[in-house]
Amino acid sequence: MERLGELWRRLLFLFQGSRFNREMEEEIRFHLESKTERIRESGISADEARYAARRRFGNAAALKEKTREAWGWSGLDRLAQDVKFAVRSLSRNPAFTLIVVLTLAFGIGVNTAIFSAVNALLLNPYPFPEADRIVSVDARHISGKNGATGYQDFLDWQRQNTVFESMAITPWTGEYTLTGQGEPQRIAGGGTTADFLRVLGIHPVLGRFFTTEEDQPSAPRVAVLTYESWRKRFNADPGVLGRAMTLDGTQLTIVGVLPPGFVFPGIEACGFFTPLHGPSTLGRTQHQYGVVARLKSGISLEQAQSEMSTIARRLEQQYPATNTGWGVKVQPLRDALAEWARTPVMFLFSTVGFVLLLACVNVSGLMLARASARGKEIAIRSSLGAGRGRIVRQILTETVLLSATGGAAGILLALWLMDVLRKVAPQQYALDAGLHLSPAVLLFTLLVSLLTGIVSGFVPAWNASGAEPSSTLKNDGNAWSRSRSRNRLMSSLVAGEVALSVILLAGAGLLAKSFILAMHVDTGIRADRLLTFRLALPQAKYSSKQQAAAFYRDLMDRLRSSPGVDAAAAVSTLPMTGGMQSGAFEVEGRPKAADWVDTSVQYSRSTPGYFHAAGIPILYGRDFDAQDTDSSLPVGIVNDTLARRFFPGQDPIGQRYKDAYDGKWRTIVGVAGSVKSQQPMNPPVPGLFCPHAQSPSNWMWITLRSRGDEAELTGMARAAVQGLDPDLPLLKIRTMREVVSDSLSGTRLLMQFLAGFAVFALLLDAIGIYGIVDYSVRQRKHEMGIRVALGASYRNVIGLVLRKGALPAAVGVLLGLPVALAASGMLRALLYGISPRDLTVFAGVPVVLLIVALGASFLPARRAAKVDPIVALRCE
């Protein structure tokens, strides 16, 4: 209890201001005067009495200090003093302050941005009640392929399990056209099952979510709005329940509204949710969904895993044709979502650590250089009684102040970076939701700024406080030897900087080379002058296959006859966009494979002329043509990867296979070249095509090969499409080159980050080397003068100075290369086409650094060589 009172009184003291000092003065004055009078009473003179009183009193100044200190705030006092002094000192050198703040802002800013990604991915708890009970349940084949789940399996899991309290399919997002609310708009929506909200533990803020009955394909269509779309499109009208929304020509009744701030990875753009409507038409072999579930209380992950594995085995026995080799993996939702992004994000996180360290070393060097200019001031302070600790504290206060400012500026940089990341990061990384300045991220920034300040200031503070005041004040030759040691320290710091830069440059070089190689890899199609876009015929309007077939046939006719178009075709799967539709490949006359996954191939449909339009060679046989119709012989074309896998050494033409989608036996009439379906660096998969006329689909990609610039065809294409159907928008219009580039967006992102860091590193190196060479030249003006007087040529002097800059750079390179070579193994997973020890890159890095070192040393070198020997010799 007394401690509280004590604390309270101590706190009050802080608000007294100068009153304490004044009162103390008065009290002591009273004491001394009283004592003086008293002594005078015994007849001593006034002056002597005063003197005696003082002596009896003791050292008034020291006692005043001690009295103040009793209150325990002297530490704070000293800090305030240090800060004031630091601010004054820094504002006298604006150039220095600016450079340091910018350097630290960059270093801290990138760390903040990447940390927010790490936080979003790995640390931040999901905003759902008991989120650790939410798991991802995925089908996993023993060969490691394909983690998506089939709808029938999902239903069986749901029926048979006893470990989950609820289970649902993760929203399957698509785009629809909303009409009847003014202008037709595109709106994204998610298809999921009734228990989705139950799994997450969320309740709608209005109305309800849909029921299992509404999941059935025959049920009336319903929709649940997200909070934002309720606000935006329906003006937050509470009477929205029961109203209808028209999407793609179908009416849906609104039955509920979700709470604000509802997030789930992958659904940020969605405006509503609707039941998947039990796509029971999909066979057991079609795997395309993700599944989430909530563990029952008391059930552990291991228990759930073992039960699901048992269920999977049961299904294997029940459906040997389709489920052999398929197991189940149960893992926390977070782990499942982080799968894609984990490697690149963690790689970036470790890299930015290096960047910050580099910034610290650079700032240390700059502070050291500055300290030499302040040598006199520090000497005076220490001769006046400032202990070593006090001087160290002073310098650390400066660096912490600098890094706090840098941190604040860095947050601005981080905000921009996070915005960029949100737009540019690949979809699968599921980063968008979490990238913002949460308290955790701000705390991180604060800690990092503090640490940066201390680390940056440590070396200069130690060095400055070790100085002997007398020799500095005397300004004699001893100063020379001390500055030699400081010089060596600065050179070591620069060498350290260069070593760190080697690592960053090597990383950037490897990623860049890998990216360029990936960009130029043969994708199997000719990407130049090829325009692509997607069409999604609304099912309400085009409900029959004949309508779809007729539409695309007419569209192709129109496009082909348009000016500027060399070739036009449609295909269901565009290369480099993923979106595979796989199915089993069963050859007539061969025993059915026990494990259909081994024989799964990619199914596509194309219109006649696709291969020609895309620039894919027909190796044997023929393409589809107008004779291949609904009523003629069912045919198919395979790619050469499939031919090599399933018909080694044989001629596939004439053989028949069973179409996994419509069950027809098709005759192979041609073999085409293979294309990459996902990323240029992934090998092509076996695939086949059937004519669109024989197996129509509403969703197709259109490819147009243009005579001139492909982008110019956009307007014409739109006119052709809308001539057939004015309500049909063109989706995802891109040139093929853009498609290839987009498929590499993940790699490109990494490369751009590393490139930015490498540039930063080179800049800092240049500053550092310039700094020490300049410093050295100034110190050695005398010596330079002598050399020139004794006959040293211009080139001699330049060479001398350049060596001064090149030496620490060389040492740095020698130190950094082995570390970089060792660390580059980490990149193996992210590189394509080159080894992590690539010779060109590792040979190039030292060359680049050497050039930078020489370039940075050049200006001071010139200055040194131009020194007038007389002037140099005169000033002592």
Partner 1 sequence: MGKTEIPPGTLYMLILRSLDRNGPMHGYGIAQHIQQMSESVLQVEEGSLYPALQRMLIKGWVKAEWGLSENNRRARFYKLTPAGRKQVTAEVAEFTRVIEAITRVIQPA
Residues forming the site for partner 1 (CB under 8 A): 2, 5-6, 9-10, 23-24, 26-28, 30-31, 33-35, 56-60, 63, 66-67, 69-72
* H/E stretch holding 638: strand 635-639
Collapse the DSSP code of 74 into the 3-class scheme (helix H, G, I; strand E, B; otherwise coil) and give the result. helix
CB of 77 to partner 1, least distance (A): 15
Distances (CA, A) of 620 to 564, 670, 671, 675, 688: 29, 5, 5, 16, 14
In the complex with partner 1, the residue whose CB is nearer, 36 or 573, is 36
Cα–Cα distance measured from residue 818 to residue 820, given in angstroms and rounded to the nearest whole number? 5
Q: Tell me the closest approach of the beta carbon of residue 21 to partner 1, in angstroms.
A: 13
Closer CB to partner 1, residue 26 or residue 48?
26
Which phi and psi (to 5°) does residue 202 adopt?
-105, 150
Nearer to partner 1, 23 or 468 (CB): 23
- Decide whether 34 or 216 has the Cβ nearer to partner 1: 34
CB 619 within 8 A of CB 640: yes
Shortest Cβ 22–partner 1 spacing (Å): 12
- Dmax (CA) for the chain in angstroms is 139
The distance of closest approach from Cβ of residue 58 to partner 1 in the complex, given in angstroms and rounded to an integer, is 3
CB of 67 to partner 1, least distance (A): 5
Closest-CA residue to 364 (of 500, 497, 469, 482): 497
671 has which bridge partners?
A: 620, 638
Toward partner 1, which CB reaches closer, 68 or 781? 68
**What is the C-alpha separation between 733 and 535, in angstroms, rounded?**
10
The C-alpha R_g of the chain, in whole angstroms, comes to: 38
Distance of CA 233 to the CA centre of its chain: 32
Q: How far is the CB of 431 from partner 1 (least distance, A)?
A: 54
Angle at 683 between CA 679 and CA 688, to 5 degrees: 95
Nearest CB to partner 1, comparing residues 66 and 590: 66
Q: Which is nearer to partner 1, 28 or 516 (CB)?
A: 28
Chain position carrying tokens 């419509």: 662
CB of 5 to partner 1, least distance (A): 5
Select 30 or 665, whichever has its Cβ closest to partner 1. 30
3-state secondary structure of 408: helix
CB of residue 4 to partner 1, shortest distance in Å: 10
Query: Which is nearer to partner 1, 70 or 373 (by Cβ)?
Result: 70
For residue 472 the two structure tokens come to: 């500095």
Residue 440 makes CB contacts below 8 A (sequence gap 6+) with 119, 123, 124
List CB contacts of 870: < 8 A, sequence separation 6 or more.
785
Q: For strands 250-257 and 222-225, give the pairing.
A: parallel
Q: How many CB atoms lie within 10 A of CB 105?
A: 22
By beta-carbon proximity to partner 1, the closer residue of 33 and 130 is: 33
Between 60 and 519, name the residue whose CB sits nearer to partner 1.
Answer: 60
Closer residue to partner 1 in complex, CB, 2/183: 2
The distance of closest approach from Cβ of residue 28 to partner 1 in the complex, given in angstroms and rounded to an integer, is 7
Closest to 618 in 3D by CA, of 668, 578, 681: 668
Q: Of 75 and 791, which CB lies nearer to partner 1 in the complex structure?
A: 75
State in angstroms the smallest separation of the CB of 38 from partner 1: 8
**Shortest distance in whole angstroms from residue 70 CB to partner 1:** 4
* Tally of residues, the chain: 876
**Torsion sign (Cα): 790, 794, 800, 805:** positive
* Contact in structure between 345 and 115 (CB atoms under 8 Å): no
Residue 37 vs 528, nearer CB to partner 1: 37
Instruction: Report the nearest approach of partner 1 to the CB of residue 27 (Å).
Output: 5
Give the CB-side neighbour count of residue 32, counting CA atoms within 13 A.
18
Contact 534, 682 (CB under 8 A): no
Place of tokens 């199609």: 525
Cβ at position 43, least distance to partner 1 in Å: 19
The kind and range of the H/E element at 482 are helix 478-520
Task: Report in angstroms how near the CB of residue 39 gets to partner 1 at its nearest.
Answer: 12
CA distance 299 to 305: 10
CA 277, chain centre distance (Å): 36
**Cβ of residue 61: shortest distance to partner 1, in angstroms?**
10
36 versus 136: smaller Cβ distance to partner 1 = 36
CA angle 374, 377, 382 (to 5 degrees): 125
- Cβ neighbours of residue 581 under 8 Å, at least 6 residues apart? 286, 572, 573, 602, 603, 604, 661
Contacts of 597 (CB under 8 A, 6+ apart): 141, 143, 145, 146, 325, 326
